[in-house]
Structure 1
Amino acid sequence: MGKFISIRNFLAATGLAALVTLPALAQTSADAGPATPTPQSIAMELFAGANTALRSDDYESARRMLESALDLKPGHPAILRGLYRVAEQAERPEDALDVLERIAAAGLYYDTTGEADWLASADSERFAAITRQLDANLAPAGQAERAARIERPDALIEGVAVDIETDRIFLSSVAGREILMLEPFAPNTPEVFADREDGLWSVFGIAVDDRSRMVWATSGVVPQTPMAADEDSGTALFAFDMTTGDLYRRYEIEGAERLGDFVVRDGIVYVSDSAAPRIYVLDSLSGQLELLVEDPRFVSLQGLALAHGALYVADYAMGIWRIDLGDHSASLVRPGDESLIGIDGFLNTRDGRLIAVRNGVSPHQVMAIDLDATGRAVANVDVILRGHRDMAGDTEPTLIDLADGRGWLVANAAWPLFPEDGSVPDDPRPATVILQFQLP
């Protein structure tokens, strides 16, 4: 749910003319700045310093400060683009080629159209090799087929959950404030499973728990939530009986700002707060939500996964956090070359692979991440799906569900076509497509 903060706009700023356009990097998910230095706040200071240095034509200082910011936020595409702009303005083609090589190695894309003259003149073979790799990063990869196509363009569908026993598909709707259900004999015809009459605001994360036979969902309020003038906002975790559709229980906790994504295993639910640096846990159906960990280093928490005896949480602006389930300490997973910035949907397979949906940067893709034996560093990244025709246009893939060796993906959530001011965009909103793919 990274689209709920201005980090999304920052990451999407692909045509940065100068570093003066980058201060959004400094914003955290909370309104107030952090009380103590964090990687995010230090990066803010470094960006501010780089801006100042660039205005004074002190290119070397700007470069050094951005390199330091990149150490704090490895693989961050906007920092890499900032480094490229510094090299460009400093007329240092060798530095520019070095940055482009790092962008390509991170699995990212940069449009080099118009850059050929000055870069090719410095090293034509090197520039050609970089261009080939960047184009390869954008090329389609993997295969998927349509599991459903839902003609509800105003629903803004965010999440998907599949019940393997019945082949029913459940969908979460942000703008419709409802949970939709697709029967296997009518995969394109949604029925309302639960809605605002059950107390739902916008619905974000959704999951089916085979053990309890519950449909779990998180709900809260964003600018795209249709609200009555006298209606109170809030956020909660909901459990619905899968058979009857009745609300079993609603779980709330004081201090929560926006319960977003979650993972369920053996009746235990771990929930991230997308608007506050907190993770919560519910240890049983009859229990209460409790605070598991609060850490000011968290910026924008998204999906969660359980693997290697630990809890892993995607941070849209930082990468992946590893939470020790014993002492609840948090540490950033050491990335490889591939950028881990912009991860939204995030779950684990039974054998401990992390399946991630990256939508904050170009290209959008689904990745399989293998950790090393310690579970603290990335050993390998494979692209499962990229460039599918249903992932195109002014949309983005969001959340996933995994079961029975398969994955289901909301391929084209139309967040960019749902302005925060409630206006209706000129471009039509597309039908939502759910893609199904085999896990490697």
Structure 2
Amino acid sequence: MRFLATSLLALALGTMPVQAQDEAVPTQQTVAMELFGLANSALESGDHEAARRFLEAALDLKPAHPAILRGLMITAIRAERADDAFLALERMAAAGISFDPAPARELLEAADATRFAAIVAALESNQDPVGEAEVVARLNGIDDLIEGVAMDIETDRIFLSSVTGREILLLEPFARDEPQVFADREDGLWSVFSLAVDDRSRLVWAGSAAIDQTPMEEGEEGGTALFAFDLVSGELYRRYEIEGAVQIADFTVRDGVVYASDSQAPRVYVLNSLSGQLEVLAEDPRFISLQGVALARGAVIVADYATGLWRIDLGDGGVSLIRAGEESLIGIDGLRQTRDGRLLAVRNGTRPHQVMAIDLDETGHAVRETEVLLRSHPELGGEWGEPTLVDPADGRAWLLSNAAWPWFSADAADRPASGPPAATVLEMDLP
């Protein structure tokens, strides 16, 4: 079977770009990848117990990682160890992962048909629809790769970021199907990613960088920066850059202070005032692929697509990985905080795609509980799209539900002639 023949090492690789690490500095990621390699070699040589031990060690470093759990199941099947296969699948179910257990069916039904049936039911239930959301905008006829969304709650205007159009689009409440250009490459924008409306400064913030999908003019130089635009006029207020930055994409704003992650360098930046400069808040070789940013429990919380959630203490600057619960925190893209201090996360790095709320414990160092808020909505993801960024405000949240990254990243010959899916914005009530 094709799945069982897949290299365990290959399964460890995510769909998001991962920043290369300094081989001289062992990190959680480099050690886990080395363990994957050792497990793969052991599996190929028939040493199933060694492969299992290596994978369990990798799982300690990256809890509830889908690829590691699948690797454990593959190893158990090859070793014909039903108990180990049961455990791997039960961990997948607890992690909120959907998975077809067919490769293990023959082994596990023979061992305990009742237990296997319960696992199948649990895995299938992870795909059951949860939550409600309504479509508030759909950009028919626009083939751009749309990534981010921000709501101006006072005027009910929606802002959208375009990766391939190099612009920020504006949707008026009376014309949701007629996007207007709010800012574009004439303002210096490259591809635009995360957006935020700051009610205090009345600015629209945007993270922008040149990437493979950015249409560039001949001789034009790439770069990355944080941009601030006047919320009313759309005039560029200021552009913030910092030496060594590679891709400033995601950020959060609170009380005029901006915290931004670099998805291609192991750094998190801070802008303490409109008149100030971007500074490095934290730089850590353990960061692999930084995504969404939020604030909670006196700390900056940043999602790492490959490893989970990291905490940067605003008091002493300490960096630590937040201890996850059973639900997998691997593959989180969008991350924001709600007014009541919950983390709102979009997980698109594994199936099923979902939006979930994450509550930290009192220390802010561990997950207390998670709650799935939206899953298996008919507009969520699809074959050629994935949910990306979310913006909560006033007890609601707006979500870009189907960014067409799979379409723009695929070989042109494999793409449907009809073009990418129309970018869709969902609105949902928060509990």
- Sort the Cα spacing of 1:54 and 1:424 in 2 relative to 1 into closer, same or farther, 3 A: closer
Instruction: Return the match for 1:348 from 337, 358, 374.
Output: 337
Instruction: Return the match for 1:434 from 399, 410, 425.
Output: 425
Establish whether residue 30 from structure 1 lines up as the match of residue 12 from structure 2. Answer: no
TM-score by length of 2: 0.96
Indicate conservation of the 8 Å contact 1:18/1:85, yes or no.
no
- Sort the Cα spacing of 1:294 and 1:187 in 2 relative to 1 into closer, same or farther, 3 A: same
Identity %: 61
- Sort the Cα spacing of 1:427 and 1:392 in 2 relative to 1 into closer, same or farther, 3 A: farther
Indicate conservation of the 8 Å contact 1:204/1:218, yes or no.
yes
Indicate conservation of the 8 Å contact 1:202/1:220, yes or no.
yes
Residues 344-395 of structure 1, C-alpha deviation per residue, up to 9 Å, x if partnerless? 0000111111010000001000000111111111111110000000014221
Q: Which residue of 2 aligns with 1:405?
A: 395
Instruction: Give the distance between the partners of 2:267 and 2:5, measured in 1 at CA.
Output: 32
Establish whether residue 171 from structure 1 lines up as the match of residue 160 from structure 2. Answer: yes
SS at match of 2:13: helix
The total of aligned residue pairs comes to: 428
* Alignment map for 1:33-432 (pairs within 5 Å): 33-113=22-102, 115-394=104-383, 395-419=385-409, 425-426=415-416, 428=418, 429-432=420-423
Moved more, 20-29 or 71-80: 20-29
Indicate conservation of the 8 Å contact 1:16/1:82, yes or no.
no
Amino acid at match of 1:199: G
Offset, 1:152: 4.5
Moved more, 415-424 or 348-357: 415-424
SS at match of 1:357: strand
Amino acid at match of 1:51: N
Instruction: Give the distance between the partners of 1:124 and 1:336, measured in 2 at CA.
Output: 28
Indicate conservation of the 8 Å contact 1:224/1:420, yes or no.
no
Instruction: Give the distance between the partners of 1:337 and 1:322, measured in 2 at CA.
Output: 19
Instruction: Give the distance between the partners of 1:316 and 1:16, measured in 2 at CA.
Output: 25
- Sort the Cα spacing of 1:211 and 1:359 in 2 relative to 1 into closer, same or farther, 3 A: same
Instruction: Give the distance between the partners of 1:15 and 1:159, measured in 2 at CA.
Output: 37
SS at match of 2:219: coil
- Sort the Cα spacing of 1:422 and 1:288 in 2 relative to 1 into closer, same or farther, 3 A: farther
CA-based RMSD: 1.8
Instruction: Give the distance between the partners of 2:212 and 2:412, measured in 1 at CA.
Output: 8
Indicate conservation of the 8 Å contact 2:21/2:285, yes or no.
no
Q: Which residue of 2 aligns with 1:8?
A: none
**Mind listing any 5+ residue stretches in structure 2 that lack a counterpart?**
none
Indicate conservation of the 8 Å contact 2:381/2:403, yes or no.
no
Offset, 1:26: 13
- Sort the Cα spacing of 1:423 and 1:120 in 2 relative to 1 into closer, same or farther, 3 A: closer
Indicate conservation of the 8 Å contact 1:29/1:276, yes or no.
no
Moved more, 362-371 or 145-154: 145-154
Residues 278-328 of structure 1, C-alpha deviation per residue, up to 9 Å, x if partnerless? 000001111110111100000111111111111111111010001101121
Instruction: Give the distance between the partners of 2:370 and 2:51, measured in 1 at CA.
Output: 31
Instruction: Give the distance between the partners of 2:14 and 2:347, measured in 1 at CA.
Output: 18
Indicate conservation of the 8 Å contact 2:229/2:237, yes or no.
yes
Instruction: Give the distance between the partners of 1:143 and 1:390, measured in 2 at CA.
Output: 11
Offset, 1:144: 0.4
- Sort the Cα spacing of 1:307 and 1:16 in 2 relative to 1 into closer, same or farther, 3 A: farther
Amino acid at match of 1:346: L
Indicate conservation of the 8 Å contact 2:323/2:367, yes or no.
yes
Indicate conservation of the 8 Å contact 1:23/1:48, yes or no.
no
Q: Which residue of 2 aligns with 1:6?
A: none
Instruction: Give the distance between the partners of 2:17 and 2:234, measured in 1 at CA.
Output: 37
Residues 115-155 of structure 1, C-alpha deviation per residue, up to 9 Å, x if partnerless? 42221111011101111110110111100001111124421
Residues 186-217 of structure 1, C-alpha deviation per residue, up to 9 Å, x if partnerless? 11210000111110000001000000000000
**Mind listing any 5+ residue stretches in structure 1 that lack a counterpart?**
1-12
SS at match of 1:227: coil
SS at match of 2:325: coil
Instruction: Give the distance between the partners of 1:411 and 1:220, measured in 2 at CA.
Output: 22
Offset, 1:28: 7.8
Residues 226-274 of structure 1, C-alpha deviation per residue, up to 9 Å, x if partnerless? 1112110000000000111100100000000000100000000000000
Offset, 1:430: 1.1
SS at match of 1:98: helix
